[in-house]
């Protein structure tokens, strides 16, 4: 295994009620830990999301409202899951945009804080998009030479993602092989500042706005907009960055 790990890399895949990580809920979660010795450990669980699963989501993953009616809510196992992920870096397929933000939000609903500053995030989907723009099914066929059986089931998808990332590392000699470097590569060489992506950094490393008419502008060049953001209903981690920027400029 060319991938160099100093601690477990936890691959996550979520099937949810929709595609909005700030408002939707987890229906099925699968976690596969890849250990430094190359061994794997999987845990998969379904949850009652507490809201109706729309037909559009059921058509994708096949999990009906009746199928999860007797399952526990996410909060029932939240503390145990947070402990299970402690000490791991995180990986997935398109996980930086969906799985990680949705899981972060679910932890917050359970009054828990998943401190993503303590781990690196590797997104095999972004690597695939950069190297070979395709779907997960095509990635499995391209990198692993096999068909993905059970696509859109969390366990099948998460284990396929493990195989894809390991195959990517083997195929591309130019890819980094440490989680720190892969995490940056997975996010187009930009550090993750807040999960909703309202902030990013420019080439000089300065924090910039990453949305709306101010996109690309340094945050320190429009502190009044940062103050405006702090009064609105942005995600908690985005608000934390606003507070830090204003504190550094003696405005908070």
**What's the domain count of the chain?**
2
- For the whole model, what pTM was predicted? 0.74
The CATH number that applies at residue 176 is: 3.30.420.10
Of the candidates 120, 170, 105, 125, the residue with the CA atom closest to the CA atom of residue 144: 170
Neighbours of 69 (CB within 10 A): 8
| Closest alpha carbon to 220 in 229, 234, 211, 208 | 208
The pLDDT value given to residue 213: 86
- Residues in contact with 74: Cβ distance below 8 Å, sequence separation at least 6, in sequence order: 25, 26, 47, 49, 106, 109, 110
The reply to whether 16 and 57 lie within a common domain is yes
- Backbone φ and ψ for 11, nearest 5 degrees, come out as -85, 130
Range of the domain at 69: 9-186
pLDDT at position 151, please? 80
One domain, residues 19 and 88: yes
Q: Is residue 3 part of a domain?
A: no
Interatomic CA distance for residues 45 and 27, integer angstroms: 9
Cα–Cα distance measured from residue 118 to residue 116, given in angstroms and rounded to the nearest whole number = 5
Tens-binned pLDDT, residue by residue, of the chain (252 aa): 999 999 999 999 999 999 889 889 999 999 999 999 999 999 999 999 999 999 989 999 999 999 999 999 999 999 999 999 999 999 999 999 999 999 999 999 999 999 999 999 999 999 998 887 678 998 999 999 999 988 889 999 999 999 999 999 999 999 999 999 999 999 989 999 999 999 999 989 999 999 988 999 999 999 999 999 999 999 999 999 999 999 999 998
45 and 164 both lie in a single domain:
yes
192 within a domain of the structure (yes/no): no
CA distance 195 to 238: 8
- Asked if the structure places residue 203 within a domain, the reply is yes
Do 57 and 177 belong together in one domain? Answer: yes
Distances (CA, A) of 41 to 5, 58, 116, 169, 220: 15, 27, 22, 20, 45
Same domain, 173 and 219: no
The Cα–Cα gap between 212 and 239 comes to 17
Question: Do 237 and 150 fall into the same domain?
Answer: no
Distance CA 192, CA 210 (A): 12
Identify the CA nearest to 193 among candidates 227, 159, 240: 240
Task: Tell whether 123 and 223 lie within a shared domain.
Answer: no
Instruction: Please identify, among 146, 162, 186, the residue that sits at the C-terminal boundary of a domain.
Output: 186
Whole-number pLDDT of residue 133: 65
Pairwise CA distance, residues 116 & 239, whole Å: 15
Residues 228 and 109 in one domain: no
Instruction: Please say which residue of 138, 164, 186 terminates a domain.
Output: 186
Tell me, yes or no, whether 177 and 215 share the same domain: no
The pLDDT score that the predictor gives to residue 243 is 97
Q: Which residues contact 231 (CB under 8 A, 6 or more apart)?
A: none
């Amino acid at each position: 295994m060319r991938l160099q790990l100093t601690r477990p890399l936890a691959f996550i895949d979520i099937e949810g009620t929709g595609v909005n990580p700030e408002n939707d809920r987890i229906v099925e979660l699968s976690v596969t830990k890849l250990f430094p010795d190359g061994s794997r450990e999987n845990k998969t669980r379904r949850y009652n999301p507490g809201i109706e699963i729309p037909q559009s989501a059921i058509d994708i993953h096949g999990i009906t409202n009746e199928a999860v009616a007797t399952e526990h809510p996410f909060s029932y196992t939240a503390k145990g899951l947070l402990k299970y992920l402690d000490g791991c870096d995180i990986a997935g397929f398109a996980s930086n945009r969906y799985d990680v933000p949705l899981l972060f939000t679910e932890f917050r609903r359970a009054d828990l804080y998943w401190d993503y500053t303590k781990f690196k995030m590797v997104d095999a989907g972004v690597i695939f998009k950069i190297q070979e723009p395709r779907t997960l099914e095509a990635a499995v066929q391209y990198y692993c030479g096999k068909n993905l059986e059970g696509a859109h089931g969390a366990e099948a998808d998460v284990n396929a993602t493990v195989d894809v990332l390991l195959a990517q590392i083997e195929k591309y000699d130019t890819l980094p092989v440490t989680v720190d470097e892969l995490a940056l590569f997975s996010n187009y060489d930009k550090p993750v500042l807040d999960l909703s992506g309202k902030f990013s950094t420019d080439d000089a490393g300065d924090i910039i706005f990453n949305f709306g008419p101010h996109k690309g502008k340094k945050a320190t060049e429009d502190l009044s907009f940062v103050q405006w953001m702090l009064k609105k209903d942005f995600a908690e981690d985005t608000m934390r960055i606003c507070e830090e920027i204003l504190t550094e400029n003696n405005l908070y």
